[in-house]
Amino acid sequence: MTKITAIIPTLNEEIHIEAAIKSVDFADEIIVIDSYSTDNTVLLAEKHNVKIIKREFDDFSSQKNFAISKAKHAWIYVLDADERVTPEVRKEILEAVQNPKNNVGFFVRRSFFFAGRNINYGGCQRDKVVRLFLKEYSTYEGVVHETIKANGKLGFFKNKIEHYSYKNYNHYISKMNHYGELRAKQYLKNNKKVNLYHVLIKPPARFFIHYFIRLGFLDGFPGFIFAKAQAYGVYVRYIKLWLFNRNVK
């Protein structure tokens, strides 16, 4: 029977880690790759039958590619700690690895939850990621919002996993700050410069796209907050780049 390695990257995920592990307990091997958490993430993970690898975080792609290189099995399922595999998707995963139909990987769609509310619009209706793949044909690329580059055909699962990415607005903003800093460092390496267009035009444009074009207003006030936070994420990356260009931390 074809076997699966599940990989869960973590950094201070004590509120999520046990539920995440349980949602992939169908896997033959589970690797938790931890970026030296300062909370109880590792202690909680050790209660389960998992392999724990500690590695200093540099970027999301490098972290996941390193864990993949340590996996025993050909099929990999990568689960962010704030995601949950539903029973319906579990069934599709187990069927897919036995009969992949010439696919080297599979997209799965996600149901996005923000502060306890399911967000259906604002771009979330298009949210899909490659989570199951053959490691021989796949590698992660990108510093933030990393994606799989697959050398082969990709299929689609019919059902959705659950994505509990943000506990509340403050948690969301802290993540936007983290992502913004990573993206700014990437821009810095590419010698990108900041001008008024980046800080005065691009953030409102991002809000307009998420709230109006991608129908975020249909989610009511949570849709407004979600679009506002997306705009903030654009703003903060360019402010941080401006500071980096002036050697200000």
**Residues near 232 by Cβ (< 8 Å), separated by ≥ 6?**
173, 176, 203
- For residue 32, which of 146, 15, 49, 131 has the smallest C-alpha distance? 49
Whether 154 and 70 map to the same domain: the answer is: yes
| pLDDT single digits (tens) 57-84 | 999 999 999 999 999 999 999 999 999 9
**This prediction's pTM:** 0.87
Whether 65 and 186 map to the same domain: the answer is: no
Tell me how many domains the chain contains: 2
Whether 66 and 162 map to the same domain: the answer is: yes
The Cα 158–Cα 164 span in angstroms is 20
The Cα 244–Cα 71 span in angstroms is 37
Residue at a domain's end among 146, 166, 186: 166
Using CA atoms, how far residue 64 sits from 68, 84, 119, 203, 241, in Å, is: 6, 18, 27, 30, 25
Between residues 248 and 211, the one the model is more confident about: 211
How large is the average pLDDT for residues 99-119? 91
pLDDT at res. 217? 96
**Residues near 124 by Cβ (< 8 Å), separated by ≥ 6?**
110, 112, 226
Whether 96 and 28 map to the same domain: the answer is: yes
Whether 135 and 107 map to the same domain: the answer is: yes
CATH number at residue 90: 3.90.550.10
Q: How confident is the model at residue 248 (pLDDT cuts 50, 70, 90)?
A: low
| pLDDT single digits (tens) 110-165 | 999 877 788 999 998 889 999 999 999 999 998 777 899 999 999 999 999 999 87
- The alpha carbon dihedral of 208, 228, 238, 145 has a sign of negative
| Measured distance between the N- and C-terminal CA atoms of the chain, rounded to whole angstroms | 52
Whether 130 and 61 map to the same domain: the answer is: yes
Whether 144 and 192 map to the same domain: the answer is: no
Which domain covers residue 99, as residue numbers? Answer: 4-166
pLDDT at res. 249? 55
pLDDT at res. 165? 77
Position 101 pLDDT exceeds 70: yes
Whether 115 and 233 map to the same domain: the answer is: no
Residue at a domain's end among 166, 193, 212: 166
Whether 41 and 74 map to the same domain: the answer is: yes
Q: Which residues pair with 77 in a beta bridge?
A: 6, 132
> How high does pLDDT run on average in the chain?
93
Residue at a domain's end among 166, 194, 223: 166
**Residues near 87 by Cβ (< 8 Å), separated by ≥ 6?**
none
Pair 8, 81: CB distance under 8 Å: yes
How large is the average pLDDT for residues 177-192? 89
| pLDDT single digits (tens) 10-62 | 999 999 999 999 999 999 999 999 999 999 999 999 999 999 999 999 999 99
Whether 140 and 194 map to the same domain: the answer is: no
Whether 87 and 22 map to the same domain: the answer is: yes
Between residues 170 and 27, the one the model is more confident about: 27
Whether 208 and 128 map to the same domain: the answer is: no
